[in-house]
A = this chain, B = another copy of it.
Amino acid sequence: MSPQRILVVGSVALDTIRTPYGEVSEALGGSASYFSCSASHFAPVSVVAVVGKDFPEEHRRTFAGRGVDLSGLEAAPGRTFRWRGEYMAELGHAHTLETQLNVFAEFHPKLTDAHRRIPYVFLANIDPDLQLEVLSQMRKPRLVLSDTMNYWIARKPDRVLEVLRRVDVALLNEEEARALAGETHLSRAAESLLAAGAHAVIIKKGEHGANYHSREERFLTPAYPVQALTDPTGAGDSFAGGFMGLLARTDRSDGEALRQAMACGTAMASMAIESFSPARLVDTTPGEIEGRVRELHELVHYDLFPMF
């Protein structure tokens, strides 16, 4: 096995979060942080993102501890992107209390020649115009995964659809899939996005798991039943990290690999939400990841025997 390098372009933030289980202040957050702490257990990761001059050295050490290449982490004059939010008892939705884009408002991904040659690419949730700009600079990537959010679907639906058509796999949560497809029923929403030109979509359903849809493959993964739920922030990006991580690690994208990648994504998401910030993801081990993937497999696996 020769793990392939992964490039992630996204946000690195300082999160202040309250949930029914506790709170943190100015903890490491952002899509690129969760993704890279997750994916780096499977394959080497390079981050392209921006932080302010105030970004704590301690968080750089967290990335370094996971072997993440930070040569693409720009330190711009100004303050780091900050998000403040809280979750109520149901934990389904974050209530955003404050968003300070700060240096992220002017983020313009700068790719070196080395970045452009990285074979696996995750375009985290940023402006679809920036996602397309990154894509156009990549030199024959082997697999590109994208994410988005309702904000962009509402403002630039055509650009979001253009991203979907240009990447190999697009991640959407339930509401995003419904909004982009204009279709309430989830399976029909997925079909409609494929008809609109997407190659494959993964619909993330939070505690209800995730569905993979392409013209060749359809696959359903329930969520891992987490007991120690602490903070749902970053679940989607951690899923993306496990999913792309397995593909980059094995350098495969056949049906069997895609199915196991969904399980790896599910396992990583389940760990991410057991702590605030990516702390739990940072500390996990290959043995623990493999154990959770096996446990998940055991929860869904059965052998068919003749019935009639």
Asked if B226 contacts A187 (CB within 8 A), the reply is: yes
Asked if B218 contacts A304 (CB within 8 A), the reply is: no
A105 at interface by CB-CB < 8 Å: no
Q: Mark A246-259, 1 if CB is under 8 A from B, else 0.
A: 10011000001001
- What residues on B are CB-neighbors of A191 within 8 Å? 227
Closest residue on chain B to residue A246 by CB atoms: B307
- What residues on B are CB-neighbors of A225 within 8 Å? 186-187, 211, 218, 220
Closest residue on chain B to residue A184 by CB atoms: B89
Q: Known: A249-B307, A256-B305, A305-B260. Contact between A300 and B207, CB under 8 A?
A: no
A185 at interface by CB-CB < 8 Å: yes
How many chain A residues touch the partner (CB < 8 A)? 47
Asked if A297 contacts B290 (CB within 8 A), the reply is: no
Asked if A300 contacts B226 (CB within 8 A), the reply is: no
Q: Within the complex, which residue of B188, B249, B286, B308 is in contact with A227, where a contact is CB–CB below 8 Å?
A: B188
Question: Could you show 26 A-B contacts with beta carbons less than 8 Å apart?
Answer: A186-B207, A187-B225, A187-B227, A208-B209, A209-B209, A209-B222, A211-B222, A211-B225, A218-B225, A218-B299, A220-B299, A220-B300, A221-B300, A222-B222, A246-B307, A250-B307, A259-B302, A263-B302, A263-B304, A264-B307, A286-B307, A287-B308, A289-B307, A294-B304, A297-B302, A300-B300
